[in-house]
Amino acid sequence: VHVEGLARAVRRARVSRDRKAAENAEAAAAKGEDNSEEVALAAALGQGSVSEDLHLDNSRELAEAELLAFKAAENVGKGIVAAYAPVVVALCGHPAIAEGHALLRGAALAALSRLMAIDGAFCEDHLALIFTRLRGESDRGTRAALMVALGDLAFRFPNALEPWTEHLYGLREWGNSLHDPDAGVRQHAVTVLAHLVLNDMMKVKGHIAEMARCLEDPDPRVASVARLLFHELSRKHGNPIYNLLPDLLSRLSGDAALAPDAFQRIMTRLLGFIDKDRQMEALADKFTNRFAEAALASTPKPARDVAFCLSQLALGDKAFRKFMEQWKLYEPALYDKEVYSALCGVVAKAKKSYGGKSKSADGGDAARVQVEEFEAKMHAAHVERYESWRTQRRAEGHVFDDDYEERLKAAEREAEAAAAREAKEEEEEDEHPLGPLKAQEEEADEADEADEDADDDDDEEEE
């Protein structure tokens, strides 16, 4: 810290000197003096800020090496701090300390983490020790302090911590970091990791699913920090969440410990950050292509998760047409009721975007008819696939809910009746000589006349 303070003081002095030199150059230019050749020659010889920065960095590295140089004592002077480093390392690795009092363990690990913050090589050499102690630590206060210390080390030496990224996020079998049983430790961990991610000190791809799971953490403080992280990520240039969503879908869908409703809540929140049509179109294409891989799974869960994510996107005309063209990718998965229901949601949004029953001059009515035909095609495929799958499973001895088949047929009859009613209404509107508005007026007049006749009948009965 002292070395860095001195470096900052030197840089401030250099900035002040450069500012004064610039002012002198402006004053000389105002007087008509020209010293541009001298300035150019000094720059060519390496004089100025670049040369001084290099010298300053070398001096700082040398000073840090002298502080903790017990491995290279023959090259540089052995510092006072270095004399205690072997003692601290031995204490942290000794079984008696590991099984001793929590206060003593915490003090030893805190001393080790502070020594690691001084020198990058020393830090890299002892990361395995500190992560091993983190795994076996029983005191929650010490675990929380270690998470903060590891965050400082990752900020100072990101390249040294990069191979340990998975352990920094936490392993479920270890029960550390984001998987720690204590909510306070998880809060420290998610705060440290959010700070590193938002400051671009840690790569998010590949491990961001661990942070996404925190959106469903039972502790509201942990969930709040996770929500803040993804909100800030969505505001960064290019919206990194868009690029992370395919990987998030794969990892969260494959997590057997994550409940289906929790998965849906997480993906609903993350997909809510996508608001550009081009990004939605690209995601719809990527998600639809996942059905080919999902078809190879032994359970329908992967296909259900993909279908749910598709149903959360508001597809434009171009994206929906491409979705219809990719029929062969998801048609085999239509046997599943949840997949079919989710894809019906995609079709329903498309029908709504074409204005329901309204007609437009740009071919909106024709597009609506095409969507309705596709909906009927998808329903027929679902009935056929479901019956085939049901027959196969029955042969294997499985018992099913017989009511679903009846509900399916009832829904089909209701859809046919609704289509017939709609066609009849449109036909009556077209055949009426004065148009639909006049038809409504005549219906209202007929209703009024019926009311008047009823009133007359009542008066006659009273008389």
Per-residue pLDDT of the chain (463 residues; tens, 9 = 90+): 555 666 667 667 766 766 776 677 667 666 655 555 555 545 444 445 556 666 666 666 666 666 665 444 444 445 667 778 889 999 999 989 888 899 999 999 999 999 999 888 889 999 999 999 999 899 999 999 999 999 999 999 999 999 999 999 988 888 888 999 999 999 999 999 999 999 988 877 778 899 999 999 999 999 999 999 999 999 988 889 999 999 999 999 999 899 999 999 999 999 999 988 899 999 999 999 999 888 888 889 999 999 999 999 988 889 999 999 999 999 999 999 999 999 999 999 888 877 644 444 455 577 788 888 999 999 999 999 988 888 887 777 666 655 666 666 666 666 666 666 766 766 665 555 545 555 555 566 666 666 655 555 555 555 4
Q: For the chain, how big is the Rg over CA atoms in Å?
A: 35
Contact 248, 209 (CB under 8 A): yes
> Do residues 190 and 232 share a domain?
no
Residue 242, in any domain of the structure:
yes
Residue 259, in any domain of the structure:
yes
The three-state secondary structure class of 84 is helix
pLDDT of 107 reads 94
> Do residues 141 and 184 share a domain?
yes
**Domain termination site, one of 156, 181, 198:** 198
How many C-beta atoms lie closer than 10 Å to residue 212's C-beta?
A: 23
Residue 26, in any domain of the structure:
no
Domain with 258, as residue range(s), is 204-275
> Do residues 170 and 233 share a domain?
no
Q: In the block, which residue shows the tokens 């009092």?
A: 101
pLDDT of 75 reads 46
**Domain termination site, one of 146, 171, 198:** 198
pLDDT of 46 reads 46
Residue 455, in any domain of the structure:
no
Buried/exposed 158-182: b ≥16 CB within 10 Å, e otherwise: eebbeebbebbbbeeeeebbbbbee
The three-state secondary structure class of 254 is coil
> Do residues 193 and 73 share a domain?
yes
pLDDT of 77 reads 47
> Do residues 80 and 102 share a domain?
yes
Distance CA 254, CA 241 (A): 19
Tell the burial category of 334 from Cβ atoms under 10 Å away from its Cβ (0-12, 13-18, 19+): buried
How many C-beta atoms lie closer than 10 Å to residue 112's C-beta?
A: 24
Residue 16, in any domain of the structure:
no
> Do residues 128 and 146 share a domain?
yes
> Do residues 218 and 185 share a domain?
no
Residue 459, in any domain of the structure:
no
> Do residues 304 and 222 share a domain?
no
pLDDT of 309 reads 95
Number of domains in the chain: 4
pLDDT of 232 reads 93
Tokens read off for 370: 């095409």
What pLDDT, in 10s, does the model give residues 142-185?
999 999 999 999 999 999 999 999 999 988 888 888 999 999 99
